[in-house]
Amino acid sequence: MHQLTDKKMIWLEQKANEIRQSIIEMLVEAKSGHTAGPLGMADIFTALYFHILKHDPTNPMWEDRDRLILSNGHICPVLYAAMAHSGYFKLEELKTLRKFGSRLQGHPHREFLPFVETSSGPLGLGLSQAVGMCLADKMDNDKYSGKQFYCLMSDGELQEGNIWEGIMLATKEKLQNLTVIIDRNNIQISGYTEDIMPLEPLKQKWQAFNWQVQSIDGHNFQEIVGAVGEAQAVFDKPSVIIANTIPGKGVSFMERKYEWHGKPPNKEEGEKALNELRNINVK
Amino acid sequence: MLNNKLKLNNKMFSQDIEQIPIRQGFGEGLVIAGDNDKNVVGLCADLSDSTKMNLFAEKYPERFIQIGVAEQNLATVASGMAAMGKIPFISSYAMFNPGRNWEQIRTTICYNDMPVKIVGSHAGVSVGPDGGTHQAIEDIAIMRVLPNMIVLSPCDAIEAKKATIVAAKINKPVYLRLAREKTPVITTEETPFEIGKARIFFVPPMQAQVAIMATGALVYNAIIAAQRFAEKGISVKVLNISSIRPLDFEAIIDLAKEAGAVVSVEEHQVVGGLGSAIAEVLAQNYPTPMELIGIHNKFGQSGTPAELIEHYHMGISYIEKAVEKVMERKSQG
């Protein structure tokens, strides 16, 4: 991973803004889907697809690619948009989201779009799959394989028990090539996580399971890239980055509102959102 | 009367027929599968001795992963390993694998079409004294309903060994159903085994009057019942169905046409199991009077395997009664 220059950072901010616009356009067209999560994770996906990941959009099944496992499949509009912007498929295809026959299923399905590392949607399943991938890689290559395994999760899905089974195994197997990024946006479908089922003290929970833990601003590219670099430097331990994000980030009337977790903007709201995004003053 | 072409155990009707737990065959088969392919890995949820995965773990410790008592993790971790080219076998009691982790199997294994092999040992009521919580009698139903899944239910330890070796070679999810108890060995190393193929084990020389279609350890009871009818001059053929999915439609329809009456036999709920699968085939192709031997809307309980098999009406005498009943129904047209 290269160092993040100021010039590159400005470029990434611009790219994240384009991805947010694509997310709004897709959701308006689809007339259903999730809005807040994808907007909140746009910076992290941009950092991953355009700076961090070792991947080749012209050769998606490249054996030595890093693996990105999206556990909370419902935020797939940001995954699809990041993939399209980096060249896995044409931007026009984004408009087919959730439509009959589309490769862009409402929740990712590997049979339709083999470039995704797994199908997802039912919560709490991604981490263990990432653990399995990392474990298989370690078996073949010892611990020093060049591949990195990134699992992206929501905070709400930490309420699933399967996650904690995966956490324990990753520690036991010393999976140092595994990095989890949690979208800590504090909302889930019915309300705020701390009202529905409190997750705090979250940092201490992961520490107690003997993971390396970092907490960052999920909209700050320096912090995102720095934390991933830090995670990769850790020896014999898996890493988790708790990325504090603003759900709905970039659109004033969506920010921090759990009501936008599971619904799309209508045409009017979409126009309003796109106007805001187009006028954000990128440094 | 045994089908000579299939080279079955010639001690079938002798009191001292060899008895081996079906799970033992799996344990030996997995070692051979591991010898054949270095990508074969074993994952277990704290029950490697019980499921006989310990044989593999001893020979290939670097390819064995102890997951702990966490069956949901067992399935999801295996899916991830399969995505990287491994051929994972995951084992626990059938009640927990695939009982506890069904949705994980559906989403991460079948929906992704990952070649994970789910090994459910201790299936059926013949687990015995542990009682109903540990007796999986719904597992065939919940596995055969999943797209992409292959469901195998071997009749003895030798067939289980062959099923394990074949399962490793096929690039699909497989469910392998095993029993805990010692079970009469009715096949030999020479008996053919093939996914998708059912074979007639017991063939009286005359046209069949009734066909028994059986799976798992109860195939032995079915053969003994058929032998008793043969002694009375009544021709009952026994079809061994170890591949429940894909199901051998041709063998089932052909035999139903010949006999005109069918009894299904399984150590499983009759809802959703082998009997249901046969009824689905026959209803659509050749409607035939049928009786279903299996568990009827009950949970299991503690007891010896023999007591429980009798209590739930799966013993030899109950199979005989079902044969008589279905013959009667056939004659009434």
Domain B19-184 class? Answer: alpha beta
pLDDT digits (tens, 9 = 90+) for B67-93: 999 999 999 999 999 999 999 999 999
Q: How far is CA A87 from CA A40, A46, A56, A115, in A?
A: 22, 13, 9, 12
Contact B83 A135 (CB under 8 A): no
Residue-level pLDDT at A282: 58
Nearest to A162 among B76, B82, B83 (CB): B76
Residue-level pLDDT at A1: 76
Give the distance from residue A120's alpha carbon to the nearest chain B alpha carbon, in angstroms. Answer: 8
Give A168's contacts in chain B (Cβ within 8 Å). Answer: 68, 70
The candidate with the shortest Cα–Cα distance to B87, out of B151, B149, B43, is: B43
Contact B73 A165 (CB under 8 A): yes
Q: Minimal Cα distance from B79: which residue of A?
A: A129
Return the CA Rg of chain B.
19
Average pLDDT over residues A272-283: 86
Contact A136 B108 (CB under 8 A): no
Residues ≥6 apart with Cβ < 8 Å to A61? A114, A115
Confidence grade of residue A143 (pLDDT, cut at 50, 70, 90): low
Instruction: Judge if B4-11+192-331 and B19-184 fold alike in CATH terms.
Output: yes
Residues ≥6 apart with Cβ < 8 Å to B1? B202, B203, B204, B205, B226, B227, B230
Contact A118 B108 (CB under 8 A): yes
Hey, is the C-beta of B37 within 8 angstroms of any chain A C-beta? no
Task: Say yes or no: ipTM exceeds 0.90.
Answer: yes
Residues ≥6 apart with Cβ < 8 Å to B239? B198, B199, B200, B201, B211, B212, B213, B214, B251, B252, B255
Nearest to A128 among B77, B84, B113 (CB): B77
Residue-level pLDDT at A51: 98
Domain B4-11+192-331 class? Answer: alpha beta
- On average, the pLDDT of chain A sits at 96
Residues of chain B with pLDDT under 50: none
Residue-level pLDDT at B333: 76
CA–CA dist A209, A206 (Å, integer): 5
Contact A118 B83 (CB under 8 A): yes
Average pLDDT over residues A180-186: 98
Contact B76 A135 (CB under 8 A): no
CA angle B59, B43, B92 (to 5 degrees): 110
Residue-level pLDDT at A281: 66
In the predicted structure, residue A283 carries a pLDDT above the cut 60: no
pLDDT digits (tens, 9 = 90+) for A146-174: 899 999 999 999 999 999 999 999 999 99
Hey, is the C-beta of B63 within 8 angstroms of any chain A C-beta? yes
Cα dihedral sign, B240-B241-B243-B248: positive
Instruction: Determine phi and psi for A212, rounding to 5 degrees.
Output: -80, 130
Domain borders along chain A are 6-278
- Which strand (E) or helix (H) includes residue A184? strand A178-184
Residues ≥6 apart with Cβ < 8 Å to A198? none
Give B88's contacts in chain A (Cβ within 8 Å). Answer: 132
Contact B70 A168 (CB under 8 A): yes
Give the distance from residue A267's alpha carbon to the nearest chain B alpha carbon, in angstroms. Answer: 33
Q: Strand B150-152 to strand A212-217: parallel, antiparallel, or no bridges (unpaired)?
A: unpaired
pLDDT digits (tens, 9 = 90+) for A50-73: 999 999 999 999 999 999 999 999
Give B80's contacts in chain A (Cβ within 8 Å). Answer: 69, 118, 128-136
Q: Find which of B44, B100, B103, B107 to mutate to test the A interface (most A CBs within 10 Å of its CB).
A: B107
Domain A6-278 class? Answer: alpha beta
Q: Report helix, strand or coil for A55.
A: coil
Percentage of chain A exceeding pLDDT 90 = 95
Hey, is the C-beta of A122 within 8 angstroms of any chain B C-beta? yes
DSSP assignment of A222-253, as one string?
Answer: HHHHHHHHHHHH--SS-EEEEEE--TTTT-TT
- In the beta sheet, which residues pair with residue A150? A68, A179
Alpha carbon B75 to chain centroid, angstroms: 21
CA-CA-CA-CA dihedral for A119, A124, A128, A134, to nearest 10: 60
Contact A162 B81 (CB under 8 A): no
Nearest to B85 among A125, A129, A136 (CB): A136
Residues ≥6 apart with Cβ < 8 Å to B181? B21, B126, B127, B128, B217, B305
Domain borders along chain B are 4-11+192-331, 19-184
CA–CA dist A238, A180 (Å, integer): 8
CA–CA dist B243, B144 (Å, integer): 11
Burial status of residue A70 (CB atoms within 10 A of its CB: 0-12, 13-18, 19 or more)? buried
Contact B107 A169 (CB under 8 A): no
Contact B76 A125 (CB under 8 A): yes
Confidence grade of residue A77 (pLDDT, cut at 50, 70, 90): very high
Give A69's contacts in chain B (Cβ within 8 Å). Answer: 80
Of chain A residues 57-76, which have a CB less than 8 A from chain B?
Answer: 69
Residues ≥6 apart with Cβ < 8 Å to B271? B141, B297
Return the CA Rg of chain A.
18
Of chain B residues 73-102, which have a CB less than 8 A from chain A?
Answer: 73, 76-86, 88
- Which strand (E) or helix (H) includes residue A193? helix A193-196
